[in-house]
Amino acid sequence: MGNTEYYKYSTDELMEIIDVFNVDADAQSKIKGILDSAEQTPDAGNFFRYYNPKSKCEKFESDIREKTGSKFALTVNSGTSALIASLVAAGVGPGDEVIVPGYTFFASVSSIVVARAIPVICEINESLTIDPDAIEKCITKKTKAIMPVHMVGHACEMDKICEIAKKHGLKVIEDTAQAFGGKYKGKYLGTWGDVGCVSLDAYKVIGTGEGGIIITDDEWLYTRAQSYHDAAACWRPDRYATERREGELFCGENYRMPELCAAAGIAQLRKLDWVNERTRAGYKQLKEEIKLPDFAKWVIPNDEEGVCGYTLGVLFDSQKQAESAILADVGFGGLAANATKGARDWHVFWNWEHILDQKTVTTEGCPFSCQHVDKLPEYSVDMCPKTKDIMLRLGVINITPGDTPEIISEMAAKITASLSSL
Ligand SMILES: Cc1ncc(COP(=O)(O)O)c(C=O)c1O
């Protein structure tokens, strides 16, 4: 394919793609002029990763391996699909339980149900990440995996979690959607467990609009994730060969990352360190300059040096104080004020009615009603009281890489003044 006129783009058609970048009319007209005068017409065949000597997906994967030190990297079309493919690849399926924190974006939990397994919702601690002591209490004979989530750029206690997993023979699937480039004890998040899953959607540390990454050192897990992410198994050395090992071929999805997103990913990856360094500097400066009252304290991450610094958390003594700080509108985000007004934030377990009421896409109720399930966890709005208490007392300050030291100082002064009047 690829070489026929049918796949070639005219200048007008290419301008549709350029339009995505939202450049002004003057720039558009200059680009149009260049395209009109170009001798070669770009070819849509180049937007497919296979049979493509210049595949951007392959280049992006090679860059990710180099950056993270992971042996294998697979680009996919979202963080959610990275999680689903990783769970399936790790052998998680009907009747298996996966431990996941009660504070995460709902996609982490959803991916477990889509992989036909049972989510077991676990408490977090004041680091805002899953509590290793609580993990032990969630383990049953059905537990197959732990999914620690590095929320708001903060690392989970990966050494403790990996030790628990080893002791009980469990897989560790790190949800690194919100913390790409962050570290725990000097090692990249996503490289501690059996597999790490990154989101590249538009609101993450770096983004390709939509996209995801799977990183692992486990060749078999990578092979199975590859199979699942590509139902047609185009990637195989011999596409039409029989299975090289049992468990390599099965019915999967198409989660392949488009070449255009991979091209954006290559460019974005070059900025990863810069983004994290800028936000980390803002985080440190805010912490130095804001004077907290004695009824509030900083959230202490498990590894302060390794945070992706785009959020700084404050824990108030009471929900009421958090609510007042958020309503003062001087730079605090958080749940307390929203919760009082009845807004449902999908990041906290008590709003996950899909799980609480075991809502499923078909009326048979799989995976919750399934011959492989003996006993379901007790799902309720009160199942993780410690998590609820922490989340309702939390105020969050967001930092962007564009925040200069002057902007940060202004923010710090406003927040300090507001806090002193609470
Ligand atoms: C913790 C967490 N996990 C998973 C996801 C899903 O990522 P995506 O939107 O790329 O599917 C997100 C996205 O917000 C997230 O925050």
Site to substitute for ligand 1 among 75, 83, 104, 105, most atoms within 8 A of C-beta: 105
- Which residues does 321 contact at the CB level (< 8 Å), separation at least 6? 295, 296, 393, 422
Q: pTM of this prediction?
A: 0.96
Strands annotated E in 200-255 = 212-216
pLDDT at 5: 67
Query: Cβ(147)–Cβ(124) under 8 Å?
Result: no
Question: Which residue type is seen at 312?
Answer: L
Q: Is 79 in the pocket of ligand 1 (CB under 6 A)?
A: yes
Q: Is 78 in the pocket of ligand 1 (CB under 6 A)?
A: yes
pLDDT at 3: 52
Q: Distance from the CA of 177 to the center of ligand 1, in angstroms?
A: 5
Q: Distance from the CA of 59 to the center of ligand 1, in angstroms?
A: 24
Question: How does DSSP assign 160-198, residue by residue?
Answer: HHHHHHHHHT-EEEEE-TT-TT-EETTEETTSSSSEEEE
pLDDT at 81: 98
- State how far the alpha carbon of 421 is from the alpha carbons of 325, 414, 416, in Å: 10, 11, 9
Q: Is 103 in the pocket of ligand 1 (CB under 6 A)?
A: no
Within its chain, how far is the Cα of 405 from the centroid? Answer: 28
Query: Cβ(226)–Cβ(218) under 8 Å?
Result: no
pLDDT at 13: 86
Q: Is 212 in the pocket of ligand 1 (CB under 6 A)?
A: yes
SS3 state of residue 325: helix
Ligand 1 atom closest to the Cα of residue 149 is 1
Ligand 1 atom closest to the Cα of residue 210 is 10
pLDDT at 2: 46
Q: Distance from the CA of 167 to the center of ligand 1, in angstroms?
A: 29
pLDDT at 97: 98
Q: Distance from the CA of 285 to the center of ligand 1, in angstroms?
A: 28
Site to substitute for ligand 1 among 201, 205, 308, 346, most atoms within 8 A of C-beta: 201
Ligand 1 atom closest to the Cα of residue 83 is 4
Q: Residue 144 and residue 220: Cα distance in Å, rounded?
A: 17
Q: CATH for 273-374+384-420, among 3.40.50.300, 3.90.1150.10, 3.40.190.10, 3.40.630.30?
A: 3.90.1150.10
Q: Is 129 in the pocket of ligand 1 (CB under 6 A)?
A: no
Which token pair is 204?
């993450």
pLDDT at 232: 78
Q: Which residues of 106-131 are buried (b: 16+ CB within 10 A; e: fewer)?
A: bbbbbbbbbbbbbbbbbbbbbbbbbb
Dihedral pair phi/psi, residue 29, rounded to 5°: -70, -35
Q: Distance from the CA of 65 to the center of ligand 1, in angstroms?
A: 21
Sign of CA dihedral 4, 61, 88, 346: negative
Q: Distance from the CA of 113 to the center of ligand 1, in angstroms?
A: 15
Listed by start position, the domains of the chain span: 5-43, 56-272, 273-374+384-420
Q: Residue 260 and residue 330: Cα distance in Å, rounded?
A: 39
**What residue owns the CA closest to ligand 1's atom 14?**
105
Half-sphere exposure of residue 178: CA atoms within 13 angstroms, side-chain side: 22
Strands annotated E in 229-356 = 296-298, 311-316, 332-333
Q: Residue 377 and residue 138: Cα distance in Å, rounded?
A: 9
Within its chain, how far is the Cα of 51 from the centroid? Answer: 30
Q: Is 201 in the pocket of ligand 1 (CB under 6 A)?
A: yes
Q: What is the chain's Cα-based Rg? A: 23
Ligand 1 atom closest to the Cα of residue 200 is 10
Dihedral pair phi/psi, residue 266, rounded to 5°: -60, -45
- Provide block-wise average pLDDT over 10 residues at a time, the chain (422 residues): 66 88 92 87 80 93 98 98 98 98 98 98 98 98 98 98 98 98 98 98 96 98 95 80 88 96 97 98 98 96 97 97 93 90 92 96 93 95 98 96 97 94 88
Q: Is 275 in the pocket of ligand 1 (CB under 6 A)?
A: no
What is the fold of 56-272? Aspartate Aminotransferase; domain 2 (3.40.640)
Q: Residue 92 and residue 116: Cα distance in Å, rounded?
A: 8
